[in-house]
């Protein structure tokens, strides 16, 4: 009972503050761009609901569920979110088609969290020419943080180069002089990681990296690449792949009875989407890094923020897989957009959306303690910290400090 009273008092105070804030802005002129009215905000989204990256489809479904929840509570500043999400099958020409449809036919205010480096690359110039926010893209390519040349595009998750530099730092500290084999997806996503590794190893890169083998997303498997990498006999295997291929690689390494130190990237660290399909025994000891609280990690069993997320999932997305960290990701980034739109108030212009997105400083409870979402007009990288983790049993165990992978100047 006591608890309830405290919370009630807190929300009463908050309501009082909000009333004051609202009174202060009530006289301000409402300003709208296409996609915004007194009653609705139209948000566009593009996801791979089909195709080689369809393991990520759950992100779009989580976001839709979150906006349904928001709408049931009265929306954002009194406006309902109209979330229009299209499938591009992880095919860049299709991404372009869907982006045009959202901007020119649906007339959305912005495109939020479109997924995939190749697809986002294909619409990058278009979105900036149209001056429509390409906001919190679901890819860690470093190029989304370029406010000078692309002021309408902003990333969300830690960049792949940041993550790769953290792995390089970790390897140099813990496995000095050990040789490395790299499997990577032959596109901007894979190449960004490879660039980050080379940056992180510096002049040792050419000595330490003994093999780099790429694959196309159109190929059925990466088995031959894994066999090729094993042939070079590296001590460490770095698996830079999207979920389907990452799982295949972990499985193949085990089938070959090969025992390198293994790294898998954060984008393929899902227990439900990667580690289980690969076979749990095959994944033991695999290393990765994270910024999200893993729903499988017993550390967060009674964590208030994760309990809130679980309650949301159970009510609004009951068919969603609560072992899949992609759902936590979708929930977190949807809350990021909510924050931006709340900060916009009644000024729902595309320009103000970007202005507010470039003025964030908050923490999300489903992210690891010590990670902050922070942006400025010159820094379009909301997240830049990760913590190392190791797969053990049926879940990831975090260890070591939260590390920043920012480039040392």
Tell me: the pLDDT tens digits for 139-171?
Answer: 999 899 999 999 999 999 999 999 999 999 999
| 400 lies in the same domain as 281 | yes
Q: Coil, helix or strand for 6?
A: helix
Q: Give me the helix-helix angle, 188-201 and 117-130, nearest 10°.
A: 100
pTM metric for this prediction: 0.83
Helices (H), 202-303: 205-208, 223-231, 243-255, 276-278, 280-283
**Same-domain status, 271 and 221:** yes
CA dist 285 and 261 (Å) reads: 8
Give a yes or no: residue 17 inside a domain: no
Residue 152 lies in a domain: yes
Tell me the mean pLDDT in the region 211-230: 97
Specify the pLDDT at position 19.
54
Q: What is the β-pairing status of strands 373-374 and 40-47? A: unpaired
What is the mean predicted confidence (pLDDT) over 189-202? 95
In a domain, 10, yes or no: no
Same domain assignment for residues 32 and 76:
yes
**Rounded percentage of the chain residues whose pLDDT exceeds 70:** 92
Q: Is 218 in the same domain as 242?
A: yes
Split at pLDDT 50, 70, 90, the class of 5 is very low
11 within domain boundaries: no
Q: Do 140 and 202 have their domain in common?
A: no
Whole-number percent of the chain with pLDDT over 90: 86
> Are residues 124 and 241 both part of a single domain?
no
Let me know if residue 5 belongs to a domain: no
CATH code of the domain in which 39 resides: 3.40.50.2300
Domain membership of residue 183 as a residue range: 160-290+388-404
What's residue 404's pLDDT? 80
pLDDT at 12 over 70: no
What is the rounded average pLDDT of the residues 235-246? 97
Residue 383, domain member (yes or no): no
Burial of 180 (0-12, 13-18, 19+ CB in 10 A): buried
- Kindly give, in sequence order, each residue whose CB lies less than 8 Å from that of residue 195, ignoring residues fewer than 6 positions away: 142, 161, 164
Q: Is residue 12 part of a domain?
A: no
When divided into structural domains, the chain yields a total of 2
Residue 46: predicted pLDDT: 98
Do residues 382 and 154 make contact, with C-beta atoms less than 8 angstroms apart?
A: yes
In the sheet that holds 261-264, the strands lie side by side as 209-215, 180-185, 236-240, 261-264, 287-290, 385-392, 395-404
So what's the pLDDT on residue 4?
43
91 & 178 share domain:
no
């Amino acid at each position: 009972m006591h608890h309830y009273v405290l919370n009630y008092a807190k929300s009463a105070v908050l309501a009082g503050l909000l009333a004051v804030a609202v009174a202060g802005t009530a006289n301000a002129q409402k300003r709208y761009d296409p996609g915004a009215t007194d009653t609705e905000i139209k948000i566009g989204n593009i996801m791979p609901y089909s195709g080689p990256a369809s393991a990520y489809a759950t992100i779009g479904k989580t976001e839709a569920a979150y906006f349904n929840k928001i709408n049931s509570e009265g929306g954002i500043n009194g406006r309902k979110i109209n979330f229009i999400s299209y499938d591009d099958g992880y095919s860049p020409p299709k991404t372009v088609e869907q982006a045009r449809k959202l901007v020119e036919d649906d007339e959305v205010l912005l495109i939020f969290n479109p997924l995939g480096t190749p697809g986002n690359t294909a619409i990058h110039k278009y979105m900036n020419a149209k001056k429509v926010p390409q906001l919190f893209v679901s890819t860690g390519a470093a190029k989304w943080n370029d406010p000078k040349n692309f002021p309408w595009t902003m990333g969300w998750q830690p960049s792949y180069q940041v993550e790769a530099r953290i792995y390089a730092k970790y390897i140099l500290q813990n496995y000095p002089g050990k040789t490395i084999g790299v499997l990577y997806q032959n596109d901007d996503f894979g190449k960004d990681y490879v660039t980050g590794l080379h940056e992180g190893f510096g002049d040792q890169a050419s000595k330490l990296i003994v093999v780099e083998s790429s694959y196309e997303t159109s190929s059925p498997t990466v088995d031959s690449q894994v066999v090729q990498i094993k042939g070079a006999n590296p001590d460490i295997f770095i698996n830079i792949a999207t979920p389907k291929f990452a799982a295949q690689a972990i499985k193949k390494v085990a089938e070959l009875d090969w025992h390198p130190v293994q790294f898998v990237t954060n984008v393929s660290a899902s227990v439900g989407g990667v580690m289980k399909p690969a076979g749990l025994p095959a994944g033991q000891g695999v290393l990765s890094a994270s910024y999200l609280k893993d729903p499988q990690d017993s550390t967060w069993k009674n964590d208030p923020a994760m309990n809130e997320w679980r309650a949301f999932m159970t009510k609004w997305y009951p068919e969603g897989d609560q072992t899949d960290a992609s759902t936590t990701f979708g929930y977190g980034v949807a809350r990021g957009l909510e924050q931006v739109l709340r900060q916009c108030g009644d000024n729902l212009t595309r320009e103000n959306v970007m202005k507010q997105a470039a003025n964030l400083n908050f923490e999300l409870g489903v992210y690891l303690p010590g990670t902050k979402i922070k942006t400025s007009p010159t820094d379009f990288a909301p997240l830049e910290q990760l913590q190392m983790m190791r797969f053990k049993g049926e879940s990831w165990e975090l260890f070591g400090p939260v590390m920043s992978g920012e480039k040392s100047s």
